[in-house]
């Protein structure tokens, strides 16, 4: 079913996602942010991608002091509305189910978030390095706040 | 007995302006699998952006890509404006659309020329690029730069378009009418071009939805998504234009969509110029502080939707800046489009995406690993050219002939 207005999007998502929703923030006419629990991400994606035919624009991983947030940006093109699904993961052990088996468009971005932010995606069909070299050491995540550039003489330092 | 051979295209290859690595697994002449490896051009833009102020970030993201160099700044400004709830003056919106559409014209012309080159029609390449030069000159008149126009800033634009420049811009646009008509006719009538592009590299509607494809690629497969129409931004909600779609999703349709889009671009610019005459006023809202919050800005770049996500913490720098360029999703579609096709067609299929690797990294080449047979980079383009000359003989046609002025 294709949703054609912003209110329709909000109403339908509220109904279908029900108690999976942790919070809803309506930023403005065209932007809606909905937080769901990490274990509900696959079900939520099924509803949004399969039933309402939204398009996955991308996902942003954000490192915050105590959590790692993942923002899944969905475009409802016929409703002039962007819906962002937020999940907050434990910073010490960020693990979440992959949505790539459902939505092929998420394959590369999940690989990217794995290598740059250290988020583990369960059931990802093809998890390997996307942008960084294969020799990149484990546990070094460039987009984390506490990441320090490898030492000057290290082969991992582009300036060496 | 057929042998499976791996043909690597890249990371450095004359086919492409920038590094990327396509590993084509071929069985005889047919491609059976494609591996795409990115990362050869990864510059860590997202991390670097966090160390720039909002004003600097716009200047910085303009350097991501040399072809669609105004798409990133527009998307970035819109993300900042969305986060900070800044209202942009109307005149600035029209100027943004004019620069954006001029850029689409030069980008599509650049691609059309390259497509001609891959197919072995170097006259097409030379002539298309000759008219692209007019568009670039026009941009120079307006912005002072042939590329990297530096026109966008959070809250508006940096320079105004002067009334006295409008006739010159209109002159360039009117001059484009004849060559665009000619390119459209050539592509639609020439039997050799048709034979090389029809039913080659087909992407179905479902493929596009699965890969979340965007831009002319999606529209060629009948998926009518265009950020300019669906999520009106800049002046696109105030002008009249059509979203061009075709249904088959082969290389020919991708050429067709891009050429027809150029006519729409010309019409959009004309409408914006007309509106500029009636819309005086400031071109910049000069936002002093960007409020804390999340902002998403997206813009229909020549290759499709570019999206910027910005998190502002109330300081003068983004706390997080996520960038997703259209090629990031579109290059992935090659995993489907090239499979089952011959190696001679691989060049044009990979090229039909109009890949922009710089953007994807914020990235193709040929070599044979197992020593069975070695194809060099030049061989690949030559394969494509050989096919064209074979078709020329078979069809008894010379291929597109573009008349001189």
pLDDT 10s digits, B149-206:
889 999 999 999 988 889 999 999 999 999 999 889 888 888 888 888 888 888 999 9
**Of A28, A75, A131, which is closest to B39 when you measure between CB atoms?**
A131
B317 touches chain A (CB under 8 A): no
Which of B320, B335, B355, B357 is best to mutate for the A interface (most A CBs within 10 A)? B320
Q: What is the pLDDT of residues B41-78, one digit of tens each?
A: 778 888 888 888 988 999 889 888 888 889 999 999 99
Q: What's the CA gap between B278 and B169, in Å, rounded?
A: 17
Q: Which CATH number fits domain B45-328: 2.40.110.10, 3.40.50.2000, 1.10.645.10, 1.10.260.40?
A: 1.10.645.10
Residue B362 confidence (pLDDT): 39
What was the pLDDT predicted at B364? 36
Contacting A residues, span 2-21, partner chain B, CB-CB under 8 Å: none
Predicted pLDDT of residue B19: 66
**Which of B202, B243, B224, B198 has the alpha carbon at shortest distance from B333?**
B202
Contact yes or no for A28 and B85 at CB 8 A:
yes
Q: How far apart are CA B200 and CA B327, in angstroms?
A: 20
Q: Which of B215, B294, B301, B335 to mutate to test the interface with A (most CBs of A within 10 A)?
A: B294
| Interface A:B, Cβ pairs < 8 A | 89
In whole numbers, what is the pLDDT of chain B averaged over residues? 84
Helix (H, G, I), strand (E, B) or coil at B146: coil
The mean per-residue pLDDT over the stretch B18-44 comes to: 78
Q: What is the pLDDT of residue B373?
A: 47
pLDDT of residue B3: 65
Distance between CA atoms of residues A101 and A93, nearest Å = 22
Per DSSP, helices labelled H in B240-376 are 251-278, 326-330, 334-337, 343-352, 357-360
Residue B371, pLDDT score: 36
For residue A158, is pLDDT > 70? no
Distance CA B104, CA B88 (A): 22
Over pLDDT 70: what percentage of chain B? 88
Average pLDDT, chain A: 89
Name B85's Cβ contacts closer than 8 Å, sequence gap at least 6: A28, B291, B293
- What residues of B are in contact with residue A71 (Cβ under 8 Å)? 294, 309, 322
* CA–CA dist B292, A79 (Å, integer): 26
Domain ranges for chain A, please list them: 6-94
How far apart are the C-alpha atoms of B355 and B208, rounded to whole Å? 16
CB contact under 8 A, A56 and B212: yes
pLDDT tens string B311-362: 988 888 899 999 998 888 888 888 888 888 888 888 788 877 776 654 444 3
CATH 3.30.460.80 fits A6-94, yes or no: yes
pLDDT given for residue B365 in this prediction: 36
Residues 6 or more apart from B343 whose CB is under 8 A from it? B7, B24, B26, B29, B30, B31, B380, B383
**Cα separation of B392 and B195, whole Å?**
10
CA A79, A80, A85, A86 dihedral sign is negative
Q: Is the pLDDT of residue B271 over 90?
A: yes
pLDDT tops 60 at residue B15: no
Please report, for chain B, how many H helices and E strands are present, in that order.
Answer: 16, 8
Helices and strands in chain A: count of H runs, count of E runs: 3, 7
Choose the closest CB to B307 out of A30, A58, A78. Answer: A58
- Predicted local confidence at residue B46, as pLDDT: 87
pLDDT greater than 70 at residue B101: yes
Give the pLDDT band (50/70/90) at residue B288: confident
Sheet holding B4-9, edge to edge: B4-9, B21-27, B30-37
B22 within 8 A of B9, measured Cβ to Cβ: yes
Measured between beta carbons, which residues in chain A are less than 8 angstroms from residue B39? 129-133
Residue contact B307–A73, C-beta within 8 A: yes
Banded pLDDT at B363 (limits 50, 70, 90) = very low
Q: Which pLDDT value is given to residue B328?
A: 86
Q: What is the pLDDT of residue B379?
A: 66
The residue-averaged pLDDT of B292-310 equals 92
**What pLDDT does residue B369 have?**
44
What's the pLDDT tens digit per position in A65-120? 889 999 999 999 999 999 999 999 999 999 999 999 999 889 999 999 999 999 99
Tell me, yes or no, if A136 comes closer than 8 A to chain B by beta carbon: no
Minimal CA separation from B9 to chain A, in Å:
17
Q: Give mean pLDDT, residues B12-28.
A: 69
Strand stretches in A5-155, DSSP E? 21-28, 31-36, 55-63, 67-76, 81-90, 95-97, 120-122
3-state secondary structure of B404: coil
Tell me how far apart the alpha carbons of residues B78 and B157 are, in angstroms, rounded to a whole number: 12
Nearest to A58 among B42, B319, B324 (CB): B324
More confident residue, B353 or B141: B141
Question: Given a cut of 50, is residue B1 above it in pLDDT?
Answer: no
Report CB contact under 8 Å: B232, A80: yes
Phi, psi of A97 (to 5 degrees): -75, 145
Quickly state the pLDDT bin for B80 (edges 50, 70, 90): very high
What is the model's pLDDT at position B377? 52
Report the pLDDT value the prediction gives residue B63, as an integer from 0 to 100: 87
Shortest distance, CA B337 to any CA of chain A (angstroms): 15
Q: Where are the domains of chain B?
A: 4-41+337-395, 45-328
Share of chain B above pLDDT 90, in %: 37
């Amino acid at each position: 079913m294709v949703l054609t207005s912003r209110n329709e999007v909000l109403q339908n998502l509220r109904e279908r996602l029900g108690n999976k929703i942790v919070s809803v923030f309506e930023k403005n006419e065209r932007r809606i942010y909905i937080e769901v629990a990490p274990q509900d991400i696959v079900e939520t994606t099924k509803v949004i991608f399969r039933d309402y035919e939204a398009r996955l624009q991308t996902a942003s991983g954000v490192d915050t002091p105590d959590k790692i947030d993942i923002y899944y940006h969905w475009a409802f093109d016929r409703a002039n509305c962007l819906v962002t699904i937020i999940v907050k993961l434990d910073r010490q052990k960020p693990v979440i189910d992959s949505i790539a088996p459902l939505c092929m468009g998420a394959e590369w971005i999940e690989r990217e978030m794995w290598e740059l932010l250290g988020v583990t995606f369960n059931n990802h069909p093809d998890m390997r390095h996307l942008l960084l070299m294969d020799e990149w050491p484990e546990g070094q995540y460039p987009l984390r706040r506490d990441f320090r550039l490898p030492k000057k003489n290290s082969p991992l330092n582009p300036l060496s | 007995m057929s042998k499976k051979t791996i043909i690597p295209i890249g990371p450095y290859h004359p086919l492409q302006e920038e590094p990327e690595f396509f590993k084509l697994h071929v069985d005889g002449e047919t491609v059976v699998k494609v591996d795409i490896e990115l990362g050869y051009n990864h510059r860590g833009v997202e991390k670097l952006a966090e160390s720039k102020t909002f004003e600097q970030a716009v200047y910085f993201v303009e350097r991501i890509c040399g072809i669609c160099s105004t798409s990133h700044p527009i998307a970035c400004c819109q993300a900042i404006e969305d986060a900070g709830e800044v209202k942009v003056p109307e005149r600035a919106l029209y100027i943004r659309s004019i620069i954006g559409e001029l850029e689409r014209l030069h980008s599509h012309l650049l691609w059309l020329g390259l497509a001609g080159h891959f197919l072995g029609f170097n006259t097409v390449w030379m002539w298309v690029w000759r008219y692209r030069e007019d568009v670039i000159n026009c941009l120079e008149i307006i912005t002072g730069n042939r590329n990297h126009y530096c026109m966008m800033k959070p809250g508006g634009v940096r320079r105004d378009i002067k009334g006295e420049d409008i006739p010159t811009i209109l002159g360039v646009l009117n001059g484009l009418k004849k060559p665009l008509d000619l390119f459209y006719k050539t592509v639609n009538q020439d039997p050799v071009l048709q034979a090389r592009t029809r039913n080659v590299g087909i992407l179905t509607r479902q493929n596009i939805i699965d890969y979340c494809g965007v831009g002319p690629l999606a529209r060629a497969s009948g998926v009518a998504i265009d950020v300019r129409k669906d999520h009106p931004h800049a002046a696109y909600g105030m002008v009249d234009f059509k979203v061009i779609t075709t249904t088959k999703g082969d290389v020919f349709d991708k050429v067709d969509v891009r050429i027809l889009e150029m006519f729409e671009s010309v019409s959009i610019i004309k409408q914006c110029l007309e509106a500029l005459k009636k819309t005086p006023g400031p071109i910049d809202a000069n936002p002093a502080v960007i409020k804390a919050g999340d902002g998403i800005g997206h813009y229909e770049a020549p290759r499709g939707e570019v999206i910027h996500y910005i998190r502002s913490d109330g300081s003068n720098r983004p706390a997080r800046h996520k960038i997703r360029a259209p090629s990031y999703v579109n290059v992935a579609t090659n995993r489907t489009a090239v499979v089952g096709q011959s190696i001679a067609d691989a060049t044009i299929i990979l090229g039909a995406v109009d890949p922009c690797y710089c953007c994807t990294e914020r990235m193709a080449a040929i070599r044979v690993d197992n020593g069975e047979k070695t194809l060099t980079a030049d061989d690949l383009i030559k394969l494509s050219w050989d096919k064209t000359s074979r078709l020329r003989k078979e069809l008894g046609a010379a291929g597109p002939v573009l008349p001189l002025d």
